[in-house]
Amino acid sequence: MARISLSGLRHSYLPHPAGPQDYALKSIDLDWEDGGAYALLGPSGCGKSTLLNIISGLLVPSEGRILFDGQDVTDLPPDQRNIAQVFQFPVIYDTMTVYDNLAFPLRNRGFDETFVNERVTLIAALLDVEPMLNVRAAHLAPDNKQKISMGRGLVRDDVNVMMFDEPLTVIDPHLKWKLRSKLKELHQQLKATMIYVTHDQTEALTFADQVVVMQEGEVVQIGTPVELFERPQHTFVGHFIGSPGMNILPAAEEGGRIVFEGQTVAVEGAVTGSGGVTELGVRPEFVTLAETGLPARVRKVSDVGRHAVIETMVGDTPVKAVVDQADVEQGAEVHLAFRQDQTRLYRDGWLSTEAAR
């Protein structure tokens, strides 16, 4: 196991990148602590897989260094980095049995058969694939194939990091849940550093201790699931995480006051910085219907079981609220209240208020 540091990492798939728009990764500085469970979360095309392939050594970055425990591995090929990687689609060796598939990474490194047998038996038990050890891998169902792919990553006990590149995309939903909790369990047993790439926030938030949110080749925030939910550093994080996402409302600064649709709104703390495009961010969970406050008209009410989502219009701006009970009807005139310690100002997308004390 190792601590992984990325410093000044940039990558472009073009031979001669002209500007920032040509970079798939724009300047990444990151530390992955030894034994952590990380999720790399972001929409498709944000550079997650590029970053993963750079860590595993399948790609050489245009600029920057990768350090494993302080040792520079930027120029080492994947097999010398001691890493395991599981891909989006199952990769199995068709002509081998399940046993031989699992033993493959160990045998390639010249471990003796007693040790191979011990590890394969252990991993097969963890993944519940013992009955099929002697079956030809080509005949397996897709979810078992993906289990074998994962197993090949888990079978080595000397890896620096295990990486999962959207490994559950091809799996049925109920099995997805099972495999994900299995992975979580494995992390606790093996204490290995794991990096899990996904565009699904549920997967990221349930698997990881720390979530790294990426957008357009940049890391926008690193934090625990709670931090990401409660204090998004960027409007993108607020919008991307949560269902429905954070309300991002156009606002103006007028002599120290924050004005939204002609009304003054109180924010959590002191405003920092100046200029730029300013927006208010407040999660629908912290918007309530009140006697006084922002006048709004209810446009739609959707009951989603435990709570209801109310879509309203404040002037020309849509604002969503999540409430326990929807006792209003479509078209009703209501007032909205924002909880002050959960209302923040964003300047050019980045958080621009100090936390409430």
Partner 1 sequence: MKTENQKAWFFVLPVLLLVAFNALVPIMTVVNYSVQETFGNNVFFWQGLDWFEQILRSDRFHAALGRQFLFTFLILIIEVPLGIIIALSMPKKGFWVPVCLVLMALPMLIPWNVVGAMWNIFTLPKIGLLGYFMNDVLGVNYDMTQDPLAAWITIIVMDVWHWTSLVVLLAYAGLVSIPDAYYQAAKIDGASPWKVFRYIQLPKMKTVLTIAILLRFMDSFNIYTEPFVLTGGGPGNSTTLLSIDLVKIALGQFDLGPAAAMSLIYFAITLLVSWLFYTLMTKDDAQ
- Residues interacting with partner 1, by CB under 8 A? 53, 56-58, 77-79, 83-85, 87-89, 91, 93-96, 104-105, 108-109, 136, 149, 152
Q: Which residue number, 56 or 235, has a Cβ lying nearer to partner 1?
A: 56
Q: Which residue number, 56 or 343, has a Cβ lying nearer to partner 1?
A: 56
Q: Which residue number, 150 or 246, has a Cβ lying nearer to partner 1?
A: 150
Q: Which residue number, 60 or 355, has a Cβ lying nearer to partner 1?
A: 60
Shortest Å, Cβ 84 to partner 1: 7
- Which structure tokens are listed for 84? 């395991």
CB 7 within 8 A of CB 65: yes
Shortest Å, Cβ 185 to partner 1: 23
CB 304 within 8 A of CB 319: no
Shortest Å, Cβ 95 to partner 1: 5
Shortest Å, Cβ 88 to partner 1: 7
Q: Which residue number, 136 or 199, has a Cβ lying nearer to partner 1?
A: 136
Interatomic CA distance for residues 288 and 265, integer angstroms: 14
Helix segments in 135-290, DSSP class H: 142-154, 173-190, 201-207, 225-230, 235-240
CB neighbour list of residue 233: distance below 8 Å, 6 or more residues apart: 220, 221, 223, 350, 351
Shortest Å, Cβ 80 to partner 1: 9
Q: Which residue number, 156 or 180, has a Cβ lying nearer to partner 1?
A: 156
Q: Which residue number, 84 or 321, has a Cβ lying nearer to partner 1?
A: 84
Shortest Å, Cβ 149 to partner 1: 8
- At residue 295, the 3 state secondary structure works out as strand
- Which structure tokens are listed for 248? 């991002």
Q: Which residue number, 57 or 245, has a Cβ lying nearer to partner 1?
A: 57
Shortest Å, Cβ 161 to partner 1: 11
The residue behind tokens 């607020």 is 238
Interatomic CA distance for residues 324 and 328, integer angstroms: 12
CB 150 within 8 A of CB 175: no
Shortest Å, Cβ 261 to partner 1: 50
254 to 221, 264, 281: CA distances (angstroms): 29, 9, 17
CB 229 within 8 A of CB 241: yes
Give Cα 95 to chain centroid, integer Å: 35
Strand ranges across the sheet with 210-215: 83-86, 161-165, 194-198, 37-41, 210-215, 218-223
